[in-house]
């Protein structure tokens, strides 16, 4: 993995274009699940030629590390009868 520029600290994955379809390489389909609609919006990496690679929200969550910040506390609900 590489970072997105010096000092940015943002991790960017590098994808091999050989395993991707032309639609995925153009950013019109998710790089993981091939979903085309809605158009994938999350930037998850780049190709070796620096072209951006996108994923749908669900796949991006699995690819990218969790964001720094407070971890939500689980809530326990009790059913009343």
Question: What SS3 class is residue 19?
Answer: helix
Block means of pLDDT (10 residues each) for the chain, length 81 residues?
49 87 92 91 92 91 72 61 55
Distance separating alpha carbons of residues 76 and 81, to the nearest angstrom: 16
What residue numbers bound the domain in which 29 lies? 13-62
For residue 12, the model assigns a pLDDT of: 75
Phi and psi torsions of 43, nearest 5°: -75, 115
For residue 52, the model assigns a pLDDT of: 93
| 27 conformational bin, left if phi > 0, alpha if psi -120 to 50, beta if neither | left
- Residue 43 falls inside a structural domain: yes
């Amino acid at each position: 993995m590489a970072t997105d520029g010096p000092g940015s600290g943002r991790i960017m994955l590098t994808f091999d274009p050989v395993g991707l379809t032309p639609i995925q390489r153009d950013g019109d389909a998710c790089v993981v699940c091939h979903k085309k609609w809605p158009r994938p919006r999350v930037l998850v990496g780049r190709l070796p030629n620096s072209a951006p690679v996108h994923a749908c929200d669900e796949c991006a969550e699995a690819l990218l590390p969790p964001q720094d910040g407070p971890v939500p506390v689980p809530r326990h609900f009790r059913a009343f009868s």
